[in-house]
Amino acid sequence: MKRKLWIGISILIMMLLIIGCVRQSVIDELQYIQAVAYDWHDKKHVRATVVVPVYNPDRTVTNSIYQVVIQMGEELQEVLNGRTHWPLVMGKLRVGLFGKKMATKNGILNILDSWQRDPFIGIPTLAVVDGNAEDVAQQIKDREVGRKVLELIKHNVDDGRLPDTNIHHFLNIYYRRNGTPWLPLLVMQEGTPVLKGIALFDGAKMKGKIDSFKDMTLFTIMHWDRAEGTGYPFTTKQGIEGFIRETELNRKVKVFNTGKSPVISLYFDLHANVVEIRGIKGKAEKVIPQLEILIKKRLETDANQLVKKLQHMNVDPLGFGEAVRSRNRKFNAVKWKEQYPHVKIKVTCKLHLDEYGIVE
Amino acid sequence: MKLQGQLTDAQLQPPDDKISGIHVFFLIHSVQTGVGGLGFQRIIAQKAGHDSWMAVLIAGVFVQIAIFFMYLALKKRREDLIALHQRILGSWLGKIFSLVFMIYFVSLGAAVTRSYSELVQIWMFPDLSTWSISLAMLLLVFYIVSGGFRVVVGISVLSVILPFYLLLLLIIPIEHAEFSNLLPIGEATFGQLLNASKEMMFSYLGFCTFLMYYPLIKGGPRTQKWAQSGALFTMILYFVVSIITLAYFSEKQLLTKIWATFSLFKVVQFPFLERFEYVGLASWAFVILDNVCLLLWASVRILRRLWPQSSGRKFLVATLVLIFLENIILSGRDDINKYIQFVNQWGVVINFMYLPLLYLVGFFREKWRRVP
């Protein structure tokens, strides 16, 4: 019995010793990369700007910035570790920014690929910067760069101005047949990043952009069915101007004639409130039903125009190809790519104006 | 039927040491869920694309049939694999085939430990050497297996209950899932589906340890419902996981994820816990542990039944050393994958071809003997 006890105790001690063999890393003595911005350098190289937040004893945050020109994505840490006093780790990477030129010419796949292979990197949010991405990293002074950009995108996603986006969503679309993903497009204005629109990708290379806020809203409405709170301005021919805000949205895609030449109809059912209106004459009860039709027509023309624009660029971020694929067993991806610019896509909608303010 | 030189069950295991019927549920279910459950989605999607969830169901039905045959073969005489072999194949041939089972159990246990240490190395500690992880685990296995069957059963009950909360976390990826990824249903051909279900088997294997502990169950044939529902529960679990995975990842994206279940856990983020995979991985140690314990217990049991005078403990130490060496020798994804595939093929042959065949041979021999 005593012998057994000793054996048990020695096994326990051995296990503790073995488990203690791992290299230590103290959380306060690591430098967490929170954001990385990539810019065009030349055909093979990119210029990476790394932002590491430093938390000062007086509770303020300063961003220390390191810049390096690299060829391989993984070189980044190796080169930069030669400059930092504590080891750099990628475990808290929140934001990846790409300059427009780099996204157009190099494509961003090389970087994303090494990120998705690294089990220590979570799910960062990505964005394209119209201009140089390093500006975002260098000009934000008041907060942590990563957090500021992340929160900017995140609250717009939550409020329904932008469909959900991060590295997972990007790669999810990228890996589809003929994947044409998209990313939010930012621009630096007077030292703060501003959400400007949407960067459209063909594969992993940027091909075009949607750069008005109005089109971005329409894109969101057509892309996603959880767009509560998005507003949309309108003007009618009669000179009525106003602003509606969504409350409920249902979206349906139908595909006719899936085989040879598909015809796609996108229908959305929109409930909204009128929050601002100018130039109406007469009583609201009479005007509202007319207004519903007028705004609906406005929305339909705008939406059809946007779809035409996307078709003209031959990118499909709204997932019409996916809609056809999921209904057609003999889906041919190559043929679809050729077909897509000429496919008939018709957007129709129904608008319900439920409320028009608490004041008559 | 008592064979010469063979100890009866009563001598090997006192009657009050028997386990009750519901434990069979845990034993079957827990030995099935193991490392396979972390990465089966990619492997079956390679073969059958977005229809691979059907392969999960097909393989599950095959498992049900296999369990049915096991009960059919054993329940008449309440014997175990060794007695069955001896009765049908005779003393010498029976011994050889029992040894095949022993080797199979040990190599399956080795595959499980090696996969888990690979997992730890990749997701948690990249610079930790293989030997230290597997040594720590094998010492624990030694401690549990030398405690006897009841301890092994206890561990497998724990290994079902403790990591159960991981299932709840799969709700979070559903939020981002797009179920249109599963459409159109039925694009894969039947051949592809069968191929995928064959690959799926690795995640279901291990349940034939049942052949060794059947005499230790109170209630004998009445426990069949527990065994079947244990396997059914595994199937439902895998089915849910595969549906969520297929909806969350697009098809080609899934092919890049070696441990798709962990990649699902990546979405889970708490303000106080940046990377949830660490917790998931630590909990998974429980899921792995009981697999190895039960498999090794079964192989020790085979030895003790074949040669009752031999020392089970020495044998256990020897097998653990063997597994340890195997863990060190296999390095890298490629080696491990090849080894797992090898074990998987053997498992499919043993579970789904050899065992029904054995039953049929026994059945007809009995019939022919009675006729004249």
In a domain, A315, yes or no: yes
B269-325 pLDDT, tens per residue? 777 777 788 888 888 888 899 899 999 999 999 998 888 888 888 888 899 999 999
Q: What does the pLDDT read at residue B10?
A: 47
Mind listing the pLDDT tens digit for each residue in B179-192? 888 888 888 888 99
Residue A42 lies in a domain: yes
Q: pLDDT by residue for chain A (360 residues), tens digit each?
A: 788 888 878 877 877 776 666 677 777 788 888 899 999 888 888 899 999 988 888 888 888 888 888 888 778 888 888 888 888 888 888 899 999 998 888 888 888 888 888 888 888 999 999 888 888 888 888 888 888 899 999 988 888 788 888 899 899 889 888 788 999 999 988 888 898 889 999 888 888 888 888 888 888 888 876 667 778 887 777 777 888 888 888 888 888 876 677 888 888 888 888 888 777 776 767 777 888 888 888 888 888 999 999 888 888 888 888 888 888 777 888 888 888 888 888 888 888 887 776 665
Same domain, A40 and A189: yes
Q: Which residues pair with A274 in a beta bridge?
A: A244
Last residue of a domain, one of A156, A179, A211: A211
User: B-chain residues within 8 Å CB-CB of A116?
Assistant: 256
Chain B partners of A323 at a C-beta cutoff of 8 Å? 180
d(CA B186, nearest CA chain A) in Å: 9
The answer to whether position A93 is within a domain reads yes
Domain boundary among A157, A187, A211: A211
Establish if A216 belongs to a structural domain. Answer: no
Which H or E run contains B264?
Answer: helix B260-265
Domain final residue, candidates A181, A211, A241 = A211
A169 contact residues in B (CB cutoff 8 A)? 176
Please give the tally of structural domains in chain A: 2
Supply the range of the domain harboring residue A250: 227-360
- pLDDT of B23-47, one tens digit each? 999 999 998 888 888 889 998 999 8
List, for residues B228-239, the tens digit of each pLDDT value.
999 999 999 999
Average the pLDDT over B334-352 and give the result: 87
A85 with A233, same domain?
A: no
Taking CA atoms, what residue in B is nearest to A16? B136
Residue B188's closest chain A neighbor by CA?
A: A329
The Cα–Cα gap between A139 and A141 comes to 6
Please check whether residues A206 and A234 belong to one and the same domain: no
pLDDT at A128: 92
Asked whether residue A340 is assigned to any structural domain, the reply reads yes
Q: In angstroms, what separates the C-alpha of B223 from chain A's closest C-alpha?
A: 36
B197-223 pLDDT, tens per residue? 888 888 888 888 888 888 888 887 888
Q: Identify which of A256, A270, A341 has the alpha carbon closest to the alpha carbon of residue A307.
A: A341
Same domain? A176 vs A238: no
Q: Indicate if A124 and A89 belong to the same structural domain.
A: yes
User: What is the pLDDT at residue A358?
Assistant: 61
Whether residue A78 is found in the same domain as residue A201? yes
pLDDT band at B5 (very low <50, low <70, confident <90, very high): very low
Could you give the CA distance from residue B311 to residue B313 in angstroms, rounded to a whole number?
5
pLDDT at B8 over 60: no
Residue A309: give its domain's CATH number.
3.30.300.210
Q: Residue A10: inside a domain, yes or no?
A: no
A54 to chain B nearest CA, in Å?
18
- A277 and A151 in a single domain? The answer is no
Q: State whether A264 and A131 are in the same domain.
A: no
Q: Do B256 and A116 touch (CB under 8 A)?
A: yes
The predicted pLDDT at position B295 comes to 92
**Cross-chain CB nearest to A11 (options B143, B178, B269):** B143
- Residues of chain B neighbouring A329 (CB-CB closer than 8 A): 184, 186-187
Mean pLDDT score of chain B: 85
A101 and A126 share one domain: yes
What are chain B's domains? 20-348 (1.20.1740.10)
Domain membership of residue A7 (yes or no) is no
Q: Which of A22, A91, A172 sits opposite B249 (nearest CB)?
A: A172
Q: Give the minimum alpha-carbon distance from A12 to chain B in angstroms, rounded to a whole number.
A: 9
CB pairs under 8 A between A and B: 72
Shortest Cα–Cα distance, B2 to chain A (Å): 35
Whether A36 and A178 share a structural domain: yes
Burial of A20 (0-12, 13-18, 19+ CB in 10 A): exposed
Pair (A119, A200) in one structural domain: yes
In this prediction the ipTM stands at 0.84
User: CB–CB of B180 and A323 under 8 A?
Assistant: yes
pLDDT digits (tens, 9 = 90+) for A193-226: 898 889 999 888 888 888 888 888 888 888 876 6
Looking at the fold, whether A205 and A274 belong to one and the same domain comes out as no
Q: What is the pLDDT of residue B16?
A: 56
Q: What is the pLDDT of residue A184?
A: 92
Task: Answer yes or no: is A14 within a domain.
Answer: no
CB contact under 8 A, A14 and B253: no
Q: What is the pLDDT of residue B12?
A: 52
C-alpha span between A25 and B124 (Å, rounded): 13
- Across the strands, what pairs with A256? A263
